[in-house]
Amino acid sequence: MAIRRIPPLTASGQAREIDAELGRTIARTLHLLSQAAMVGVCRGRMRNLVRHLAQLAEHPAAGSEVRGGAETLLRAWREAQQEHFGPDENTPRH
């Protein structure tokens, strides 16, 4: 079975390509979220996940829904990070 890539649609309904950097950031973030769910969270994975969510929340090529969803997840993961591991000096606060 072949996997077909379906490009996202613009507001007018026309297909557009995802920015390569944005695509990599989304893929890495999904990977980290999956690993957190399947394996668990350690300090390093949590730090990387928070960093990737912050990048998604601020990425200019991401749609408003992606940025808003990333910002919501970022707040929740930062709260969990603080609760489980204490303050992380390497993670910028907004």
**Residue-level pLDDT at 20:** 87
Instruction: Count up the domains in the chain and report the number.
Output: 1
Q: Which domain holds residue 56?
A: 43-87
73 in any annotated domain: yes
70 in any annotated domain: yes
10-49 pLDDT per residue, tens: 556 554 567 888 999 999 999 999 999 999 999 999 999 9
Please name the residue that has the structure tokens 């990977």.
31
53 in any annotated domain: yes
4 in any annotated domain: no
- Record the tokens describing residue 15, joined without a space: 């297909």
pTM exceeding the 0.85 threshold for the entire prediction: no
11 in any annotated domain: no
Cα–Cα distance for residue pair 42/18, rounded to 1 Å: 31
Q: From its phi and psi, is residue 91 left (phi > 0), alpha (psi between -120 and 50) or beta? A: beta
80 in any annotated domain: yes
- Segment 49-71 shows an average pLDDT of 94
Residue 27: how many other CB atoms lie within 10 Å: 11
